[in-house]
Amino acid sequence: MLNCREVAERAEDWLDKDMGTWRSFQMRMHLAVCKGCSRFMSQMRLTRGLTDVATDLESNNLRDGDDRQIDAILSRLHDEKNSKG
């Protein structure tokens, strides 16, 4: 099984789903028993979601009062926060 440092080093690959079957199994096993790493991965997922939203805001030139875009962004953040990896 992987240790906490190895999980942190492989976090990006895990979130990108760019990991072989055996390594993915090892990650799942570690995350199942290590609450600290599970929280770390949740924070990484949320950080990525926020980064994506910031990029969307820049690329869409979001203007004040555009409630539909704001609602869509908030919904996306909520989905990112609640997704499981």
Predicted confidence band of residue 85 (pLDDT cuts 50, 70, 90): very low
What's the structural domain count of the chain? Answer: 1
Q: 24 is in which domain, residue-wise?
A: 4-82
Burial class (CB in 10 A: 0-12, 13-18, 19+), 24: middle
Return the pLDDT at 19. 94
Q: Are 32 and 9 in contact (CB under 8 A)?
A: no
Nearest-angstrom CA–CA distance, 69 and 62: 8
Query: Does the global pTM surpass 0.75?
Result: no
Most confident of 7-11, 53-57, 58-62, 72-76: 7-11
Burial 61-79 (b: 16+ CB within 10 A, else e): eeeeeeeeeeeebeeeeee
